[in-house]
Amino acid sequence: MPLIEIENTGERFQQNDIDDCILRAGLASGLGLSYECNSGGCGSCKFELLEGEVETLWADAPGLSARDIKKNRRLACQSRALTDLRIKMHTAPEFCLPVLAKRQSLSLLERRAVTDDIAEFRFQVDNEAVFLPGQYALLHVPGVDSPRAYSMSNLPNQNGEWAFWIRRVANGAATTVLFDQLRRGDRLILDGPYGMAYLRPDSPRDVVCIAGGSGISPMLSIARAAASDPAMAGRRLDFFFGGRRPADLCGQLELAELSRGPGALVTYHCSISDPDVGSGWSGERGFIHELVQRQLGGQLSNRECYLAGPPPMVQATQRALLLDEGVSQDQVHFDRFF
Ligand SMILES: Cc1cc2nc3c(=O)[nH]c(=O)nc-3n(C[C@H](O)[C@H](O)[C@H](O)COP(=O)(O)OP(=O)(O)OC[C@H]3O[C@@H](n4cnc5c(N)ncnc54)[C@H](O)[C@@H]3O)c2cc1C
Ligand code: FES
């Protein structure tokens, strides 16, 4: 079993047989290896290989440039140690897993259409479902080489239920299997939970959740947790959802149910970004970060902000919050769906 030494911190960990990559082996050992997407897209898990040999799991991963490769840099989420290694990598306590990830077998309980391209998938495990609202898990989908990240939409629970809102991607390897081939009772492997964009219930601030497309999944989990927590009573949660077309809008029913909860008071806002939406649409138009600024501009620096969705939507929203609105970086928690 290869031993990995992080030269700049002196930390060491072992990659066990079950570990499929250096990142997840390090996190499982309790270390705070820098990461975000776990999927090869963001580049946060870059390390410099000083000594030893690794297998590259996805050579074309967009998180690594040709220049990085020349400089002997690799992605820890897309590399597996073949020998003992000496590496240089950023680590920090905020990356340590708040709930230790584990692998478990799940079976599909139910798939329910939410829109014409988003469905809710509910899976069952034998143990309690333990995660923090806003986190994601990796699903090993049968017949697909590498796992895909999906964010939980439900709350942690003793019944062992893990729910996800998943958007079908045209010709996508994993979503084609999930939507077209997976039947009730079929099993797959879940590895998780991961991610740092989870609800901070101890923050005294009001909350903003901002979702684009399938980014609604972790935002629903956060809203459900905030609305059901009596410790969050008296606080506001403004939930912003951006879709391209009116047919993309979803989540209103689930959020309306939360109005009876003992915790934060949830208000739903939505906007349509397609400039050709036509006169049949009388609601808000434009990108979702524009609506956030129209509704809450000047008040956002006092909010805890949670964001999820496609990278361009998250980047535009981050810019609006950090640069235009002066929100402090440590109040902005996000997941980009690469
Ligand atoms: C943190 C996070 C949370 C997410 N949460 C959700 C969610 O709640 N709901 C949702 O609908 N989507 C979510 N996604 C997106 C999801 O993980 C998939 O990218 C999406 O479902 C498309 O997968 P696909 O296999 O169908 O498409 P494909 O186009 O086949 O694959 C898309 C993604 O898979 C990965 N990938 C592709 N090829 C390889 C390879 N050879 N090796 C390794 N990785 C590869 C890349 O990340 C790529 O962007 C999330 C993504 C991230 C990073
Ligand atoms: S965590 Fe490895 S590329 Fe994003």
Residue 338 is assigned to a structural domain of this protein: no
Q: Please tell me the distance from the alpha carbon of residue 72 to that of residue 69, in angstroms, as a whole number.
A: 5
Q: Please tell me the distance from the alpha carbon of residue 6 to that of residue 190, in angstroms, as a whole number.
A: 28
Three-point CA angle 318, 268, 301, nearest 5°: 35
- Quick: pLDDT tens for 292-320: 999 999 999 999 999 999 999 999 999 99
Give this prediction's pTM: 0.97
Shared domain check, 315 and 219: yes
Ligand number nearest to the C-alpha of 27: 2
Shared domain check, 323 and 245: yes
Shared domain check, 112 and 21: no
Residue-level pLDDT at 147: 96
Mean pLDDT over 221-237 rounds to: 97
Domain end marker among 67, 95, 123? 95
Lining ligand 2 with CB less than 6 A are 35-38, 40-45, 63, 75, 77
Residue 48 is assigned to a structural domain of this protein: yes
Total domains, the chain: 3
Any idea what the CATH number is for the domain that residue 16 is in?
3.10.20.30
Any idea what the CATH number is for the domain that residue 272 is in?
3.40.50.80
Three-state secondary structure readout of 55-84: EECCCCCCCCCHHHHHCCEEEHHHEEECCC
How far the first Cα of the chain sits from its last, in Å, is 31
Residue 201 is assigned to a structural domain of this protein: no
Three-state secondary structure call for residue 49: strand
Domain end marker among 95, 110, 136? 95
Taking 80 as the threshold, does the pLDDT of residue 19 lie above it? Answer: no
% of the chain at pLDDT higher than 90: 96
Q: How far is the CA of 28 from the centre of ligand 2 (A)?
A: 16
Mean pLDDT over 265-290 rounds to: 93
Shared domain check, 172 and 123: yes
Residue 199 is assigned to a structural domain of this protein: no
pLDDT band at 175 (very low <50, low <70, confident <90, very high): very high
Shared domain check, 158 and 142: yes
Shared domain check, 316 and 227: yes
Residue 200 is assigned to a structural domain of this protein: no
Residue 91 is assigned to a structural domain of this protein: yes
The range of the structural domain enclosing residue 167 comes to: 102-194
Mean pLDDT over 198-218 rounds to: 96
Shared domain check, 252 and 168: no
pLDDT band at 277 (very low <50, low <70, confident <90, very high): confident
% of the chain at pLDDT higher than 70: 100
Q: What are phi and psi of 12, to 5 degrees?
A: -135, 150
Taking 90 as the threshold, does the pLDDT of residue 329 lie above it? Answer: yes
Residue-level pLDDT at 132: 98
- Quick: pLDDT tens for 49-64: 999 999 999 999 999 9
Mean pLDDT over 168-178 rounds to: 97
Q: How far is the CA of 131 from the centre of ligand 2 (A)?
A: 20
Pick the residue whose CA is nearest to atom 3 on ligand 2. Answer: 40
Domain end marker among 62, 95, 128? 95
Any idea what the CATH number is for the domain that residue 181 is in?
2.40.30.10
Shared domain check, 115 and 26: no
